């Protein structure tokens, strides 16, 4: 990729203060997002993927949270330094977000029409009538039948899949350059999920925007993204194009995660592969690699110093003893 990235996140760290002390939910991650690409951020709950997404829109609840270090550059502008008023311009304009539970993100006492036209009027400066026409147009694009009629519905009058479509329509109403989608299909049924995944992909191509898809579901990532980061405990474990990431994962965590997904197999297994143990407490991280205690390949060096994310071949990974690689000669 030779183009300059649309979004450049460098050494981002996000801290939360808790009764027990400060916790780094995200601890020094860097990644780029290019125009017209879909980047997946995968990980289990508590790995920092949602917080990362929220930080891109300046939505970290503060207090207790704050961006402790690093920069978030969108087309050359550092969003981490913007004040709330400037951020509000960016939000819904250049960057939009859709959430897991559309019912909580839509205001139940306003119609879809008033919520959508408000956004359009604020960011595009149109009249109410023009904004309404745009809203109808958008709802049509996200596949809502009879959009002119549905526009005056209240959110509770719609099904879950329909509401998620409305959320998407609202997020895209102002033609954002970047869409952050946080578990957009997790609350939906499989058949509806398939529809929404299809829709996001189709709209991404149509609007030529960048999409960051945050999810725990590797299946969704495989079907929608070109590239993905795997996060663990606030850090990036592995980052690669989808093909190498799924075909030959290098980080043992990525491998374990891929292995443990329940998938339809030809033969029922007596034991599903698992990752032993559980995610360490962010307040009480082990020295060295954060995955070491659960890792089958861990050795002495893993427990002393934390591995850095390094590029090797097609992937970047933070591991001393990656899969598919003979252990390196000890450096004298």
Residue 21 as a binder of other proteins (CB under 8 A): the answer is: yes
* Residues of span 27-56 touching other proteins by CB under 8 A: 44-45
* Count of beta carbons in the 10 Å neighbourhood of residue 115: 18
Residue 264 as a binder of other proteins (CB under 8 A): the answer is: yes
At 156 the three-state DSSP class reads helix
Element spanning 78, H or E: strand 77-78
Tell how far CA 212 is from the center of its chain: 5
Q: Name the H helices within the chain.
A: 49-56, 84-90, 102-105, 112-124, 128-141, 147-150, 160-172, 190-207, 218-224, 242-247, 252-260
Q: What is the DSSP letter of 266?
A: S
In terms of DSSP bridges, do strands 38-42 and 95-98 run parallel, antiparallel, or are they unpaired? unpaired
Q: How far is CA 37 from CA 91, 202, 320, in A?
A: 20, 12, 30
- Which one among 198, 299, 314, 325 touches other proteins, defined by CB under 8 A? 198
Stretch that binds other proteins, among 120-128, 129-137, 170-178, 188-196 (CB under 8 A): 188-196
* Residues of span 67-106 touching other proteins by CB under 8 A: none
Residue 306 as a binder of other proteins (CB under 8 A): the answer is: yes
- Which one among 11, 107, 146, 273 touches other proteins, defined by CB under 8 A? 273
Residue 314 as a binder of other proteins (CB under 8 A): the answer is: no
Residue 256 as a binder of other proteins (CB under 8 A): the answer is: yes
Tell how far CA 87 is from the center of its chain: 19
Stretch that binds other proteins, among 97-105, 124-132, 211-219, 322-330 (CB under 8 A): 211-219
**Total residues contacting other proteins (rule CB under 8 A)?**
69
Residue 330 as a binder of other proteins (CB under 8 A): the answer is: no
C-alpha 308/C-alpha 306 separation (Å) is 6
Stretch that binds other proteins, among 75-83, 84-92, 157-165, 172-180 (CB under 8 A): 157-165
If the CB atoms of residues 23 and 166 are measured against other proteins, the closer one turns out to be 23
Binding-site ranges for other proteins (CB under 8 A): 16-24, 44-45, 61, 63-64, 159-162, 189-195, 197-198, 216-223, 242-243, 246-247, 256-258, 260-265, 268-275, 278-279, 281-285, 287-288, 304-306, 308
């Amino acid at each position: 990729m030779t183009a300059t990235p649309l979004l450049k996140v460098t050494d981002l760290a996000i801290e939360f203060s808790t009764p027990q002390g400060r916790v780094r939910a995200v601890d020094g991650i860097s990644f780029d997002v290019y125009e017209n690409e879909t980047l997946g951020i995968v990980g289990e709950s508590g790995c920092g993927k949602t917080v990362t997404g929220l930080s891109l829109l300046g939505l970290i609840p503060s207090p207790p949270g704050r961006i402790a270090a690093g920069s978030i550059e969108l087309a050359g502008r550092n969003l981490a330094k913007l004040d709330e008023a400037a951020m509000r311009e960016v939000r819904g304009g250049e960057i939009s977000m859709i959430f897991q539970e559309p019912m909580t993100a839509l205001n139940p006492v306003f119609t879809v029409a008033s919520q959508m036209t408000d956004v359009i009027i604020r960011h595009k400066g149109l009249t109410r009538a023009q904004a309404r026409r745009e809203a109808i147009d958008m709802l049509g694009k996200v596949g809502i039948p009879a959009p002119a009629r549905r526009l005056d519905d209240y959110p509770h009058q719609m099904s879950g899949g329909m509401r998620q479509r409305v959320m998407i329509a609202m997020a895209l109403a102002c033609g954002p350059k970047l869409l952050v989608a946080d578990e957009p299909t997790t609350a939906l049924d499989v058949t509806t999920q398939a529809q929404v995944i299809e829709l996001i992909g189709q709209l991404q191509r149509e609007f030529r925007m960048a999409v960051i898809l945050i999810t725990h579901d590797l299946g969704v990532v495989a079907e929608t993204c070109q590239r993905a980061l795997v996060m663990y405990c606030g850090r990036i474990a592995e980052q690669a194009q989808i093909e190498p990431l799924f075909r030959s994962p290098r980080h043992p965590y990525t491998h374990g995660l891929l292995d443990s997904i329940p998938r339809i197999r030809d033969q029922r297994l007596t034991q599903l592969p698992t990752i032993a143990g559980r995610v360490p407490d962010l307040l009480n991280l082990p020295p060295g690699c954060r995955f070491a205690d659960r890792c089958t390949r861990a050795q002495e060096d893993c427990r002393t110093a934390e591995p850095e994310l390094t590029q090797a071949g097609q992937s970047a990974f933070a591991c001393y003893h990656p899969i598919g690689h003979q252990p390196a000669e000890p450096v004298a």
